[in-house]
């Protein structure tokens, strides 16, 4: 097919996707996170939940389990996670009856080539995140038309206008954000109401949990994410797309 025809078809697909997302946002604008989760799984084919099994992950995992326990759950094992996170993943999956948890890891050859000694994070955290998290996830997502994220408006200025549904730049996938309108206090309230298990590191001063080498305890009064990549101009691992590129979002200024 000539290039101009390919570009025309891509433009049509993009317009159709944008119209679908717009219709979903209008339909669920005043609905709850549960309604958004139900609607997303009913309306969007080949939808997966991406979960870190971190401090707040159990909320979305519980919501998806209520709707369909067989929903694909993509868990990125960077092979640098806390032992407590791996144990929490097993506990939560068993308790909620999640039957389709898929463990995503970087290709062994890529790790041997780019980080043979497991020290890449010391001098280039972005490269480490790309190797162990971003690229493996994007490869895993290539077979899905959309994915569910735990992002919320209150988390950073770049998310202040976050919608329930959005078109992910550069991929043609739909991203679903059921918790977009939640306030900080809604998360622990939901966990208490549904008696959900806490990540064991939360009680030890880790309100936001990533890989062990790049996560430290947070002192009283600090921002909950202060322990992630402490003293670096970095707030996220880069699993989100902006203008068609995998980038860090919500950077500190």
Rg, Å, the chain Cα set: 18
Specify whether the CB–CB gap between 85 and 53 falls below 8 A: yes
d(CA 209, CA 229): 11
Of residues 128, 211, 214, 237, which has the active-site annotation?
237
Give residue for tokens 């759950």. Answer: 73
- Concerning whether 237 is annotated as a catalytic residue, the answer is yes
Q: DSSP assignment, residue 152?
A: -
Q: Classify 103 as helix, strand or coil.
A: strand
SS3 content of the chain, % helix, strand, coil (to 5): 45, 15, 45
Cβ-count burial 29-65 (b if 16+ within 10 Å, e if not): eeeebeebbbbbbebbeebbbbbbbbbbbbbbbbbbb
Catalytic residue numbers, as ranges: 237
């Amino acid at each position: 097919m000539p290039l101009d025809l390919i570009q025309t078809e891509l433009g049509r697909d993009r317009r159709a996707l944008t119209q679908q997302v717009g219709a979903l946002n209008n339909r669920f604008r005043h609905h709850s996170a549960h309604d958004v989760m139900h609607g997303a799984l009913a309306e969007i084919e080949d939808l997966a939940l991406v979960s870190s099994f971190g401090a707040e992950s159990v909320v979305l995992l519980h919501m998806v389990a209520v709707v369909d326990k067989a929903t694909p759950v993509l868990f990125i094992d960077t092979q640098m996670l806390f032992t407590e996170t791996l144990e929490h993943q097993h506990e939560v999956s068993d308790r909620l009856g999640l039957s389709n948890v898929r463990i995503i890891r970087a290709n062994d050859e890529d790790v041997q080539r780019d980080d043979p000694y497991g020290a890449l994070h010391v001098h280039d955290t972005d490269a480490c995140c790309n190797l162990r998290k971003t690229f493996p996830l994007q490869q895993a997502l290539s077979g899905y038309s959309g994915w569910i994220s735990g992002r919320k408006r209150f988390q950073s200025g770049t998310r202040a206008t976050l919608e329930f549904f959005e078109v992910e730049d550069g991929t043609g996938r739909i991203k679903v954000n059921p918790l977009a309108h939640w306030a900080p206090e809604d998360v622990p309230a939901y966990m208490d109401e549904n008696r959900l298990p806490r990540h064991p590191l939360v009680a030890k001063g880790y309100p936001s949990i990533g890989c062990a080498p790049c996560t430290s305890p947070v002192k009283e009064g600090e921002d909950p994410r202060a322990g992630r990549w402490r003293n670096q101009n970095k707030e996220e691992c880069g699993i989100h797309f902006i203008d068609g590129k995998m980038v860090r979002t919500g950077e500190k200024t």
